[in-house]
Structure 1
Amino acid sequence: MSSSLKNLSDFSHIEVGNAANLKFAIVVSQWNAQITGALLKGAYKGLLDHGATEENIELIEVPGSYELISGSDIALRKRDIDAVITLGCVIQGETRHFDFICMAVANGLANVGIQHNKPVIFGVLTTDNLEQAIDRSGGKHGNKGEEAAITAIQMALIGKKY
């Protein structure tokens, strides 16, 4: 696997942009809180490190990853949100529930973004096990929450430009 020894959260090769005048909503799942809490810390760090202010970041906690869809829709009803960052973690279990949730969340978030014509960033881990989730929420592969924040900044700036 190409990511086996690599921190994927390296942004030194790209121009992220300044988030000082942007407003974000972070919608985070309470399920798998150990992981989603670490993703949330990464997302906040990513936004603040690139100029966002705490007063321009709205936090919405939802019960699980499936509820990220309606949480994002609720956030975007506020017209002053430039981008939504969704953070969740679905870990493979013994049943097909994993497949149904992952597909529903991915499609639902895409539809919310299209409906509102705003970026809805998919910061949802879909892993085979807890170790993979830990590795991607601040472990050896970086923090997907921070990556989601960088993506949100870039997409919000594109939205302002065009």
Structure 2
Amino acid sequence: MNIIQSGITAENSSIAIIIARFNEFINKNLLLGALDTLKRIGQVHEENILKIYVPGTYEIPTIASYIAKSGKYDAIIAIGTIIKGQTDHFKYIANDTSSSLSRISAQYFLPITLGILTTKNIEQSIERSGTKMGNKGSDAALAALEMINVMKKLKKVIYY
């Protein structure tokens, strides 16, 4: 029986981070958490990290697809915040964004991790961007690091 498990250091990896500017005061903290994790824990070099800013979370999949198609990156981290308002707009943005990112990841065999908050209010977003509920940007970076290593090991077992 073969078992593939992996660690979280990926010092020679190239990682793209796509950050939504909408709700920037929250996304900034998610980005800081992701960067700290990539550099401090993952040992990823600053020059191997590409940061791309887009208007909002809904625009992230378009850029993710472009990056994935390039084949130049080992993982993508998506960072954004979607806060429920008075309408169903929240639901459509959250569903479409996560579904699109999942499709892109599967299509290109590229890890795309979600540092995208979907919360009921600003307070929940603040709690999940570095206060009492942790930092979901950091969590997304950890997932990206592990997936990079899992994919590298998997490529040694499965040949395309």
Q: Deviations over 1:124-158 (max 9, x none)?
A: 10000000000000111110000000000000111
Counterpart secondary structure, 1:66: helix
Tell me the CA shift for residue 77 of structure 1: 2.5
Match of 1:38 in 2: 29
Choose from 122, 134, 151 the match for 2:126.
134
Residues in 2 aligned to 1:66 and 1:107: alpha-carbon distance in whole angstroms:
11
Matched residues, number: 148
TM-score by length of structure 2 reads 0.90
Residues in 2 aligned to 1:25 and 1:17: alpha-carbon distance in whole angstroms:
17
Tell me the CA shift for residue 160 of structure 1: 0.8
Residues in 2 aligned to 1:19 and 1:132: alpha-carbon distance in whole angstroms:
31
Residues in 1 aligned to 2:44 and 2:63: alpha-carbon distance in whole angstroms:
21
Choose from 10, 15, 18 the match for 1:24.
15
Residues in 1 aligned to 2:95 and 2:142: alpha-carbon distance in whole angstroms:
24
**1:126 and 1:42, CA in 2 relative to 1: closer, same or farther beyond 3 A?**
same
- 1:90 maps onto 2:82 in alignment: yes
Q: Deviations over 1:23-52 (max 9, x none)?
A: 100001000000111100000001001200
RMSD: 1.0
- 1:48 maps onto 2:35 in alignment: no
Tell me the CA shift for residue 73 of structure 1: 1.0
User: Going by fraction, where is helix more abundant, 1 or 2?
Assistant: 2
Which runs of 4 or more aligned residues in structure 1 lie more than 4 Å from their structure 2 counterparts after TM superposition? none
Counterpart secondary structure, 2:43: coil
- 1:143 maps onto 2:138 in alignment: no
Q: Which runs of 5+ in 1 are unaligned?
A: 1-14
Match of 1:161 in 2: 153
Q: Which runs of 5+ in 2 are unaligned?
A: 1-5, 155-160
- 1:102 maps onto 2:94 in alignment: yes
Residue type of the alignment partner of 1:39: L
TM-score by length of structure 1 reads 0.89
Tell me the CA shift for residue 16 of structure 1: 4.1
Q: Deviations over 1:70-99 (max 9, x none)?
A: 111122232120000000000000000001
Residues in 1 aligned to 2:10 and 2:127: alpha-carbon distance in whole angstroms:
27
Residues in 2 aligned to 1:31 and 1:81: alpha-carbon distance in whole angstroms:
25
